[in-house]
Amino acid sequence: MAVPQYTHPQETKSERLRAELAALTSHHRACSEPYARMVNALFPHVQHGISSLADVPWVPVGLFKSHQLQSIADTDIATVLVSSGTSGQQPSRIVLDREAAAQQRTALASIMGTLLGPKRLPMLVIDTPSIIKGRGALSARGAGVLGMMTFGAAHAFALDDTLVPQPEIIARFLERHGHAPFLMFGFTFLAWQALVEQMPAGSMDLSQGILVHSGGWKKLIERSVSDVVFKDRLREQTGLARVHNFYGMVEQIGGVFLEGDDGLLYPPDFADVIVRDPRTLDVVPHGTEGVIQVLSLLPRSYPGHSILTEDRGVIVHEDAPGASRRGKGFVVLGRVPRAELRGCSDVIATTAAASL
């Protein structure tokens, strides 16, 4: 997980990941009986070895909402991450031991270091301070804020508990730090709501800011706000030009796919992405839309190293000449329609749940 990331050619990276993910699969089969039953039922080919990344058994992401899968003893659980979920939906619960939590921090540092450099920048958090004050299980939003705060200094929270901007705090932060590069982090919808909708245009000079944001696109799509519109409006209203999305989910630690300068998302060297046909679940060629599978070497405390998401995406290129990052560049297109999920992937998800 050493810096710099995104340096390995895909062929070299795939072979290294294959070997380590195969070993991780064996680890989880030995330490989690429900996971072993699921693999035996759905992926019998594993008995004969894993010859490619596409052979690595995957867990449907929805399974983490109905089952707490773990490969550690209850007494070793140090942190429980809880997904935000939607109303009426059971959240995912992800268990980490101390080693996994430490590896997650190291992984995030190696990824963000490629964007922010080694120096901790003054940080404006586009959220409320109460998001990191919960006891017990930490929400996905709170975990994200807390994780990103390690890369900042002189933190200031831009929103109050009702998620309304606090102009005095923002102005005071910009007066002290706005003349040089500073870090901003927030969930996508909150950043849009606070910086574009709730603050008057021209009231803030964020031209020195670097905004990292993630999640919350569903509400923006409902308002017909695309990634291009998101960036254009921020630039027009605040002068903010450096905006980087990242794709990830609480169900997979280490799976942080950061947007490059070309607007595409890239897996770090310890993670990867595969796109499958939502009906047949076969791997599709680059350039073809399908359902996203994410892989990461970090999940050792629970079997989340290979997850079939419910998101649609497409791999645009691989080791593209002239690209600043090696590996696969991809985009996320939204959620897989329920009609498609009721096909092959839903059948397998149901079978997986029954085998646990």
Instruction: Give the whole-angstrom CA distance, residue 86 versus residue 115.
Output: 31
pLDDT (0 to 100) of residue 83: 80
User: What are the backbone angles phi and psi of residue 32, rounded to the nearest 5°?
Assistant: -130, 105
pLDDT for the residue numbered 1: 59
- Whether residue 21 contacts residue 50, with contact meaning beta carbons closer than 8 Å, is answered with yes
Residue 328 has pLDDT above 70, yes or no: yes
Question: At residue 38, does pLDDT exceed 70?
Answer: yes
Look at residue 347 and tell me whether its pLDDT is greater than 60.
no
Check whether 85 has a pLDDT greater than 70. Answer: no
- Do the Cβ atoms of 28 and 303 come closer than 8 Å? yes
Q: State the Cα–Cα distance between residues 127 and 269, nearest whole angstrom.
A: 30
Main-chain phi, psi angles of 157, to 5 degrees: -100, 125
Q: Are residues 82 and 250 in contact, defined by beta-carbon separation less than 8 angstroms?
A: yes
Would you say 264 and 328 are in contact if contact means Cβ atoms under 8 Å apart?
no
Model confidence over 263-309: pLDDT tens digits? 999 999 999 999 999 989 999 999 999 999 999 999 999 999 999 99
Confidence of residue 135 (pLDDT cuts 50, 70, 90): low
Confidence of residue 11 (pLDDT cuts 50, 70, 90): very high
- What's the average model confidence in pLDDT over 23-49? 94
Three-state SS sequence of the chain:
CCCCCCCCCHHHHHHHHHHHHHHHHHHHHHHCHHHHHHHHHHCHHHHHCCCCHHHCCCEECCHHHHCCCCCCCHHHCCEEEECCCCCCCCCCEEEECHHHHHHHHHHHHHHHHHHHCCCCEEEEECCCHHHHCCCCCEEHHHHHHHHHHCCEEEEEECECCCCCECHHHHHHHHHHHCCCCEEEEEEHHHHHHHHHHHCCCCCCCCCCEEEEEECCHHHHHHCCCCHHHHHHHHHHHHCCCEEEEEEEECCEEEEEEEECCCCCEECCCCEEEEEECCCCCCECCCCCCEEEEEEECCCCCCCCCEEEEEEEEEEEEECCCCCCCCCEEEEEEEECCHHHHCCHHHHHHHHHHHHC
**Res 356 pLDDT > 70:** no
Contact in structure between 160 and 186 (CB atoms under 8 Å): no
**Mean pLDDT of the region 159-169:** 95
Q: Which residue has the tokens 């939906």?
A: 89
Residue 15: pLDDT band (50, 70, 90) is: very high
Position 287: which residue type? G
- Residue holding tokens 């950061």? 258
* Residue found under tokens 């939204």: 334
Q: How confident is the model at residue 96 (pLDDT cuts 50, 70, 90)?
A: very high
Cis-peptide, bond into residue 4, ω within 30° of zero: yes
Q: Which of 190, 196, 184, 194 is nearest to 154 (CA)?
A: 184
353, pLDDT greater than 70: no
pLDDT of residue 182: 97
Mean pLDDT of the chain: 90
- Residue 349's pLDDT is 62
Which whole number is the average pLDDT over 246-264?
Answer: 89
Report the pLDDT value the prediction gives residue 142, as an integer from 0 to 100.
Answer: 84
- Residues 27 and 303: their CA atoms lie apart, in Å, by 9
Q: Using alpha carbons, select from 189, 105, 90, 193 the residue that is nearest to residue 149.
A: 105
Check residue 350 and give its pLDDT. Answer: 64
pTM for the whole structure: 0.87
Q: At what angle do helices 33-42 and 344-355 cross, to 10 degrees?
A: 140
